[in-house]
Chains A and B, each alone.
Chain A
Amino acid sequence: MEIVNLILSALSQGMLYAPMAMGVFIAFKILNTPDLTIDGSLVFGMTVCAVVTIAGHPVLALVAGTAAGAVAGLITGLQQTKLQINAILAGILTMTGLYTVNYMVLGGQANLYLQHAELNESGSEVFVSSNTIYKMFASLFPSWDNTVAVLVLTALLVAAVAALLCVFFKTRPGMAIRATGDNEEMVRSSSINADMSRVLGIMIANALVALSGSLLCQQQRYADLNSGSGMLVVGLASVIIGQVLFGKRSVTLGVISAVAGSTVYRLILQFAYKINMPSYAVKLLSACIVALALSLPLLRRKWSLHKARTAARKEGSV
């Protein structure tokens, strides 16, 4: 039973972070652009979602959080294209600036719980937890376990978003974004505004990341200013794991493998926790996974070169 709970928990975590993995996939793999805005836009989605949720609009909060991410992406995209700032630096600038913005959105504090003051029957003020989409969904299926409810609702949302993305990348604007990451000159030669494609792509990527932030916010019932650090590496690890599992043949497969990668990544973490890995070791583990996966093709090539060389030497000495 414990193992079932472990897997369920990993699956729901994987689904919550799946939009982020899709966002990282779009920025890093489709647009071929290292976008460091991601750490900031995840928190931006979280903080905006928290504020709107507390105001009593849980569904609108998800939309607002996602839109906030798009705005962050817009700012990074404009820096990259109109101001010709190096892509990595543009992302770092937005991410750094967003820290202040997020602090302000949370009303000058580092974290915010999804609760608001209400008067009870006796007329005294009490804090009640704000309504979220997960609360609404759980009330429809009262017999369900909470983890299962979270998993089902998030998985449905992720499936819808993934389907939408796959369709979008087959339309002309979507295909223009793919081509912009592949050969920008060809895009311009086809009379497409490559700058606009790039900005649009980065906006979509960060909107997805912020959607993850919004979902996390409603699921964990609070927003935390520091929850974004290292998220880019987590997203990259998910994308790379997905690529190892599914290959990199098409965009549709890429979107699906990002979702799968996110889930497998969480499974790995859950089992690492199970064998008593301390939670602070997560980031080191993630960084190592990414570094190893990125260098694997080169190491493999060097190894085969080494083998060929020793074989040739042996032959020569005979």
Chain B
Amino acid sequence: MNSKAQLTITHLTKKFEANSVNEKTALLDFNLEVQKGDFITILGSNGAGKSTLFNAILGKFLPDKGSILLDGEDITYEKDYKRALNIGCLYQNPMRGTAPNMTIEENLALAYTRKSTHRFFAVNKKDSAYFRELLASLDLGLEDRMKTKMGLLSGGQRQAAALLMATIAKPKLLLLDEHTAALDPATAEKVLRITRSIISERGLTALMITHNMEQALAFGNRTIMMDSGRLVLDVRDEERAAMTPQKLVELFSRSARQALSDRTQLSVS
């Protein structure tokens, strides 16, 4: 195994409602090795297992088989909140990452103090100065609204704040689950720009789920595609540079067709 691997997933398998008529294979012998500093975009149709993969990494459930190594450490059976020390996550819904009735400052303080040495008061001058600096870098004017309750912000502002919270403690891994899908196009672009700059400035290792083929190629250094819980495409370097959205769509629909015919065959036999 490569010593530089930041995330190593081997033989990960998860079936929901196993041994019942509703059995659904969400992940099937899924393998992935992510290098330190990789920024991987993940494609796949609905139900391909992308979000399930994230939830497995986050520890929302335990897999049936396989293992997950983060920076060489086996986290397969670690509790979700313990993994969160080193994994940041952002969902499609901006509400999920922030506490609406607490101020921006308090939200950031809670996210920040997971690693920094605790002071007596969670919100204090020294940390606040740092938060103000971070918020100013978003260029959304939030640095002047640190005492504003999170619930009063717009979806885009909240998502940008949630992005800061997910990355403030220098995570070993950042997971982005269609985190701009619920935003209007202009806001989505702004949040994406912020995402890109935070990832590159801090040299974060990141996985990003998207449904946008252009985005999948424009961001990061590697693109993978999932289908029926399996890895069906993995492009990087020259191969990726030569890839166009059209080709991706073609590959995408081919794999989807393949899956469809697999299913038809199954039902016939």
Contacts and interface: CB of A to CB of B under 8 A. Distances in A.
Interface string A166-178: 0000111011101
A118 interface: no
Interface in A151-199: 170-172, 174-176, 178-179, 182-183, 185-194
B109 interface: yes
A190 B122 contact: no
Given A178-B106, A190-B110, A190-B114, 18 more contacts: A170-B121, A171-B121, A175-B123, A178-B102, A179-B102, A182-B101, A182-B102, A183-B96, A186-B96, A187-B81, A187-B110, A188-B84, A189-B84, A189-B111, A190-B111, A190-B165, A191-B83, A192-B114
Interface residues of B, number: 31
A194 B81 contact: yes
Contacts of B155: none
B240 interface: no
B66 interface: no
B118 interface: yes
B13 interface: no
Interface of A: 170-172, 174-176, 178-179, 182-183, 185-194
B234 interface: no
Contacts of B114: 190-192
B120 interface: yes
B97 A186 contact: yes
Nearest to A32: B101
A185 B90 CA distance: 11
A194 B79 CA distance: 12
Q: Which of A185, A187, A190 has the most chain B CB within a 10 Å cutoff?
A: A190
Contact of B80 (A175, A183, A188): A188
B97 A189 contact: yes
A183 B91 CA distance: 14
Contacts of B123: 170, 175
Nearest to A176: B110
Contact of A175 (B88, B100, B109, B165): B109
Nearest to B84: A191
Nearest to A188: B81
Chain A at the B interface: SS class: helix
A193 B109 contact: no
B181 interface: no
B82 interface: yes
B121 A182 contact: no
B52 interface: no
Interface string B140-172: 000000000000000000000000011001000
9 smallest beta-carbon distances between A and B, as pairs: A182-B99, A191-B84, A191-B114, A191-B85, A183-B99, A172-B122, A188-B81, A179-B99, A175-B122
Contacts of B107: 179, 186
B176 interface: no
A172 B124 CA distance: 11
B81 A191 contact: yes
B147 to A, nearest CB: 10
Nearest to B83: A191
A17 to B, nearest CB: 26
A193 B79 CA distance: 9
B89 interface: yes
Q: Which of B98, B110, B169 has the most chain A CB within a 10 Å cutoff?
A: B110
Nearest to B113: A172
A182 B118 CA distance: 22
Contacts of A192: 81, 110, 114
A155 to B, nearest CB: 27
Contacts of A188: 80-81, 84
Nearest to B101: A182
26 contacts: A170-B121, A172-B118, A174-B122, A175-B106, A175-B123, A179-B102, A182-B99, A182-B100, A182-B102, A183-B98, A186-B98, A186-B107, A186-B110, A186-B165, A187-B99, A188-B80, A188-B84, A189-B84, A189-B89, A189-B165, A190-B110, A190-B111, A190-B114, A190-B165, A191-B82, A193-B81
A125 to B, nearest CB: 54
